[in-house]
């Protein structure tokens, strides 16, 4: 594998664009990035934005690469993989899929078998460089290839490995769906503060900054979230009253129930998708 690997993206949607932008900001060279998609007009806009090479030919795009990122919808993945299979069987690149629900064994079969393959579960904050991605590698993936995947996805946030593919369902329920959980909390806080008389724009700005600040503190601190929470609380104070209300209302159990529902649905969707192929 070359010192400066060539990375090809099959698919040019928002997530692919976010990853490319993050890579370039992290020092990857545009000359080593290829992108393919059926819409040439869209490709030309990506070329102008990032300075990368583009083509409407998926096979040609895959042929250039040390690492191929499959960034197409699950519904068209089988056709895309079958199309590029003869090429990747010859060049043997690292294959990376960001499609939810499609298992590594299925993807490998469509690609002709025996290829190093990594599944990645990114989330929507990746679009602003604050993503959290879960990664799983099959047995063919070498340590150096793992490092390459980490360098790509850490350019748009955090990239963490799981040892078993089934744990990607747990990742989906946590970081994949998680942004919506926090948006719900923002929505609820804004509504409560507005009811108390604060202008909605002010309430939203304060809630967003409070959430961002709390996340930054949690990321930088060696203390666990429980202790950070207690550090904000004073005996008989406002925070203590609010936390007691959350606890008495069963917030912890509700969060666990919601997480379990997302986890279960992730598994169900994977099975549904497999039946459609």
Where would I find the beta strands (DSSP E) of 125-207? Answer: 131-137, 157-161
Residue 84 counted as an annotated binding residue: no
Residue 58 counted as an annotated binding residue: yes
Residue 12 counted as an annotated binding residue: yes
Residue 98 counted as an annotated binding residue: no
Residue 71 counted as an annotated binding residue: yes
Please check whether residue 218 is in contact with residue 225, taking contact to mean a CB–CB distance below 8 angstroms: yes
Closest residue by Cα to residue 7 from 35, 45, 33, 26: 33
Phi, psi dihedral angles at 273 (to 5 degrees): -65, -40
What is the enclosing helix (H) or strand (E) of 8?
Answer: strand 7-10
Residue 72 counted as an annotated binding residue: yes
Phi, psi dihedral angles at 118 (to 5 degrees): -120, 130
Residue 225 counted as an annotated binding residue: no
Residue 104 counted as an annotated binding residue: no
Q: Is 150 exposed, middle or buried (CB count within 10 Å of its CB: 0-12, 13-18, 19+)? A: middle
Residue 15 counted as an annotated binding residue: yes
Residue 147 counted as an annotated binding residue: no
Binding residues: 10-15, 58, 71-74
Binding residues for NADP(+): 10-15, 71-74
Binding residues for NADPH: 58
């Amino acid at each position: 594998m070359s010192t400066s690997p060539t990375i090809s993206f099959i698919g040019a949607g928002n997530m692919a664009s976010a990853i490319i932008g993050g890579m370039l900001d992290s020092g990857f060279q545009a000359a080593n990035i290829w992108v393919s998609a059926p819409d040439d007009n869209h490709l030309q806009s990506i070329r102008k934005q990032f300075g990368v090479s583009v083509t409407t030919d998926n096979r040609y795009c895959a042929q250039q690469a040390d690492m191929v990122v499959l960034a197409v919808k699950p519904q068209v993945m089988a056709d895309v993989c079958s199309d590029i299979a003869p090429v990747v069987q010859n060049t043997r690149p690292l294959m990376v899929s960001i499609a939810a629900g499609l298992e590594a064994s299925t993807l490998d079969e469509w690609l002709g078998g025996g290829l190093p393959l990594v599944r990645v579960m990114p989330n929507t904050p990746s679009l602003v460089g604050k993503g959290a991605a879960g990664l799983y590698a099959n047995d063919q993936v070498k340590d150096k290839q793992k490092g390459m995947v980490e360098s790509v996805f850490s350019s748009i946030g955090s990239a963490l490995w799981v040892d078993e593919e089934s744990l990607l369902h747990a990742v989906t329920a946590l970081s994949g769906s998680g942004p919506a959980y926090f948006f719900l909390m923002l929505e609820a806080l804004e509504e409560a503060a507005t009811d108390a008389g604060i202008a909605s724009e002010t309430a939203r700005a304060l809630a967003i900054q409070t959430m961002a600040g709390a996340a930054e503190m949690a990321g930088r601190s060696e203390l666990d979230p429980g202790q950070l929470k207690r550090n904000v609380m004073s005996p008989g104070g406002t925070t203590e009253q609010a936390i007691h209300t959350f606890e008495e209302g069963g917030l912890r159990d509700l969060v666990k129930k919601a997480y379990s529902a997302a986890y279960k649905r992730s598994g169900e969707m994977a099975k549904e998708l497999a039946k459609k192929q």
